[in-house]
Amino acid sequence: MNKQPSSHWSKIIVHVDMNAFFASIEQRDFSHLRNKPIAVTNGIKGSCIITSSYEARAFGIKTGMKFIDAKRLCPKLIRRPSRPEQYIKVSEEIMKTLNDVSPDIEIFSVDEAFLDLTYCQKIYPSPMYVAQLIKKKIFSQFDLPCSIGISNNKSTAKFAAKLHKPNGITIINPCEAETVLSKYPVTELCGVSRGIQNFLNYHGVFACGDMKKIPISILGNRFGNIGRRIWLMAQGKDIDGLNLISNAPKSIGHGKVTRPNTCDVDEIKKIFHYMSEKVARRMRLHRYESNLFFVGLKTKKGWITDQFKTARYLNHGRDIFALCSKLISKVQFKYGVFQVQVTAMKPRPTNLQHDIFHHSESKRKILDSAVDKINQRYGELTIAPARIIDKLESPDVISPSWRPKGHRKSI
Ligand SMILES: [Mg+2]
């Protein structure tokens, strides 16, 4: 740690990580749970632990553990049903507060954010001052604990925040980052999956300090940009910038010009289904979801459109197609169709929903992700709903407001 001014830092990145977020909110909102071992599960009968309080963690209770097994470790463990809406509400309020510290903010997950303070260096006297300011704000406004890590890049700042939990502040001076990291296992870095770990171990890399022994190209050739980034991260030289909120697109849409004057409802449904899958897949690819959809079809008399606001945020093709079906059922098809359009409006990052979806939803997300990976590798529609498996011949029309840049990448 140091209290020196940061004027010599090329960048100042802060990582804020709320501690045992859901459990801390439960303990805050229900005073009888304070200082008690509690586990948050999906519903009152939930079998799997989503997160637990520090009092429970002291017994060896971990996220993902079965509640029955946890109860054996800690017979006094209290089960609390999760309240996702409350967690998201608190999260959004915390993010607004952090936004006041620096407008350059990336919401990384429901309980984590990065702030770039590079352009606010004149306002704040030192990294330690900022860390204490953030802690004070979060504690006084929300009565919740958080850990803060500061360095000159995202990866080192995130690593720093993990070092002292709960309630810690860790500042890693950029010139010391490589030395500090060198003794820690590479698995301590965010984004090192089991597959990457095995690959690194095979090449003799166990601690971050071992990374220098292999050329960057070994990782680059095998894992592309993510591999190259991990090589730099291990040496405290992560170059990834923040994915700022302002980069979110206003809409994500796909349209298609149909066979002129199409009256065949099945064919129109098929095109809508295809567009729905494409919009959903693009949202998932860039980690967005939306609860507002614009659906339309064009006849010689003009556009017939509808807008749907859904109770949940969506990024699954079948859900979006269900909205298209509502529009199709209202249309009498007196005139043939020339074009269709499906657009998700005001998409938001999925990060906020991370970890809190229901179990069945979670299974579907895993399936979606597997299908996306296959289609990315072997081509569009390698796996797709039966209705649209035959490729459509007419060209796609991409919504002009979509700008494929600045979205959160895989780490
Ligand atoms: Mg956390």
Residue 110 maps to a domain: no
Cα(147) to centroid(ligand 1), Å: 8
Same domain, 280 and 388: yes
Which residue among 41, 66, 85 closes a domain? 85
In angstroms, what is the span from residue 193 Cα to ligand 1's centroid? 19
Q: What is the CATH number of the domain that holds 356?
A: 3.30.1490.100
Single residue among 67, 85, 103 that ends a domain in this structure:
85
Structurally, the chain folds into a number of domains equal to 3
Asked whether 233 and 160 are in contact (CB, 8 A), the reply is: no
Strand partners, 265: none
Residues 221 and 345 in one domain: no
Do 255 and 393 lie in one domain? The reply is yes
3-class SS letters over the chain: CCCCCCCCCCCCEEEEEECCHHHHHHHHHCHHHCCCCEEEECCCCCCEEEEECHHHHCCCCCCCCEHHHHHHHCCCCEEEECCHHHHHHHHHHHHHHHHHHCCCEEEEECCEEEEECHHHCCCCCCHHHHHHHHHHHHHHHHCCCEEEEEECCHHHHHHHHHHCCCCCEEECCHHHHHHHHHCCEHHHCCCCCHHHHHHHHHCCCCEHHHHHHCCHHHHHHHHCHHHHHHHHHCCCCCCCCCCCHHHCCCEEEEEEEEEEEECCHHHHHHHHHHHHHHHHHHHHHCCEEEEEEEEEEEECCEEEEEEEEEEEEECCHHHHHHHHHHHHHHCCCCCCEEEEEEEEECCEEHHHHCCCCCHHHHHHHHHHHHHHHHHHHHCCCCCCCHHHCCCCCCCEEECCCCCCCCCCCCC
Closest CA to 246 of 355, 348, 338, 174: 348
Q: Tell me, what CATH number does 32's domain have? A: 3.40.1170.60
Check 26, 55, 106, 112 and give the catalytic one: 112
Taking only the tens place, the pLDDT of each residue in 261-313 is 998 999 999 999 999 999 999 998 888 899 999 999 999 889 999 999 999 89
356 & 268 share domain: yes
List all residues 6 or more positions away from 377 whose beta carbon is below 8 Å from its beta carbon: none
Q: How far is the CA of 109 from the centre of ligand 1 (A)?
A: 9
The Å distance, Cα 291 to ligand 1 centre, comes to 26
**Whether residues 200 and 65 fall in one domain:** no
Q: How many CB atoms lie within 10 A of CB 225?
A: 13
Tell how far the Cα of 110 is from the centroid of ligand 1, in angstroms. Answer: 8
Same domain, 190 and 289: no
CA of 1 to the centre of ligand 1 (A): 21
The residue out of 85, 112, 134 marking a domain boundary is 85
Residue 310: inside a domain:
yes
* CATH number of the domain bearing residue 196: 1.10.150.20
- 112 included as an active-site residue: yes
pLDDT of amino acid 355 = 47
Question: What confidence score (pLDDT) does residue 384 get?
Answer: 75
Q: 191: CA distance to ligand 1 center in Å?
A: 16
Q: Both 228 and 257 in a single domain? A: no
- Asked if residue 191 belongs to a domain, the reply is yes
- Domain contains 204: yes
Give the distance between the most distant pair of CA atoms in the chain.
74
Instruction: Note whether 252 and 374 are same-domain residues.
Output: yes
Model confidence, pTM: 0.69
393 CA distance to ligand 1 centroid (A)?
A: 48
pLDDT at 408 (0 to 100): 38
Q: Is residue 409 part of a domain?
A: no
Residues around the ion ligand 1 (C-beta < 5 A): 17-18, 111
Q: Is residue 94 part of a domain?
A: no
**CA of 154 relative to ligand 1 center, distance in Å:** 16
Residues 6+ apart with CB under 8 A from 222: 199
Q: For each of the chain's 411 residues, which pLDDT tens digit applies?
A: 444 555 568 899 999 999 999 999 999 999 999 999 999 998 888 789 999 999 999 999 999 999 999 999 999 999 999 998 899 899 989 999 999 999 999 988 889 999 999 988 888 999 999 999 999 999 999 999 999 999 999 999 999 999 999 999 999 999 999 999 999 999 999 989 899 999 999 999 999 999 999 999 999 999 999 999 999 999 999 998 887 766 667 899 999 888 899 989 999 999 999 999 999 999 988 888 999 999 999 998 899 999 999 998 999 999 999 999 999 998 888 889 999 999 999 898 776 554 455 555 667 777 787 777 777 666 666 777 777 766 555 444 444 343 333 333 333
**Residue 139: alpha-carbon gap to chain centroid:** 25
Show the tokens assigned to 345: 């409006």
Ligand 1 geometric centre to CA of 180 (Å): 22
Say how many Å lie between the CA of residue 107 and the centre of ligand 1. Answer: 13
Domain presence at residue 320: yes
Determine the Cα–Cα distance for residues 15 and 113; give it in Å rounded to an integer: 6
In a domain, residue 135? The reply is no
On whether both 199 and 333 belong to a single domain, the answer is no
Do 190 and 332 reside in the same domain of the chain? no
Q: Judge if 287 and 370 occupy the same domain.
A: yes
Cα of 22 vs centre of ligand 1, distance in Å, is 9
Range of the domain at 261: 248-398
Residues 370 and 315 in one domain: yes
